[in-house]
Amino acid sequence: MGRLENKVAIVTGGAQGQGAAIARAYVAEGAKVVIADVAKEAGQALAEELGKNAHFMHHDVSDEASWTAVVEDANTRFGPVNVLANNAGILRFGDIERMPAAEVELLWRVNQLGVFLGMQSVARTMRKNGGGSIINASSVEGLAGMPSCTAYAATKWAIRGMTKCAAMELGPKGIRVNSVHPGMIDTPMTRVHGGDAAMEYGAAKVPLRRVGVPEDIAPLYVFLASEESSYINGAEIAVDGGVTSTHAFGA
């Protein structure tokens, strides 16, 4: 308890899945959290569950004006933002020869542009108020390849690269930027692509012989948001049960 006292965090995609687990863990450790998501009902319910130190705000990560609004709201409501969990993202599979350009562009707008706009928006506040921590959600598909995943992987490799560039640019301003690379995690986003069968297939590929759950991811976000990680910047950290120790899921 108390590892994140005096921290003000924005968690994008915070209404469910990994984002909800991160928001719960942040509040449990003393942070004040803005849950930012397009899923209004789930986000409001989570904010009510977490109490006075959590607030839901409808937020489209691909929209610059929406970023301005959510950062201003957090700054006014709780104080200067010093943690951003850039967690929002979508997953789409598609073969190179058949995937529509509109699907590719949607992945780019949410996953890649959303992360860039988030870093841009909070960096201004963090620079003026002593620094902070930005945690970007990439994926094991940002570390290795997988069939039918070219468009999705492109965004996750981009997040990995943007994180390293931002770490170099923002580090002198007291802002740390790191990327997290989850493996297969049992969330609504992954279950929609195959349900139990997909989870069983994924588990068979993992050295630990299970897929992850959101609660496996949240502790790393707490660590990276806390002062315990004050000398970690530009890192890429896999939370994947050992999958990237050898081959990716598609091998």
Q: What is the pLDDT of residue 242?
A: 83
SS3 60: coil
Q: What is the pTM of this model?
A: 0.92
Give residue-wise pLDDT tens across range 40-87. Answer: 999 999 999 999 999 999 999 999 999 999 999 999 999 999 999 999
- For 215-234, what is each residue's pLDDT tens digit? 999 999 999 999 999 999 99
CB 91 within 8 A of CB 185: no
129 contacts: CB under 8 Å, gap ≥ 6: 80, 82
Cβ density class 153-169: b for 16+ within 10 Å, e for less? bbbbbbbbebbbebbee
Q: Are 61 and 11 in contact (CB under 8 A)?
A: no
Measured between alpha carbons, how far is residue 92 from residues 68, 101, 131, 213 in Å? 27, 12, 35, 20
**What are the tokens at 199?**
């989870």
Give dist(CA 136, CA 23) in Å, integer: 15
152 is catalytic: yes
CATH superfamily of 8-237: NAD(P)-binding Rossmann-like Domain (3.40.50.720)
Containing H/E element for 151?
helix 150-170
- Which member of 152, 201, 221, 231 is catalytic? 152
- pLDDT at position 251 over 70: no
The enclosing H or E element of 27 equals helix 17-28
pLDDT of 193 over the 90 cut: no
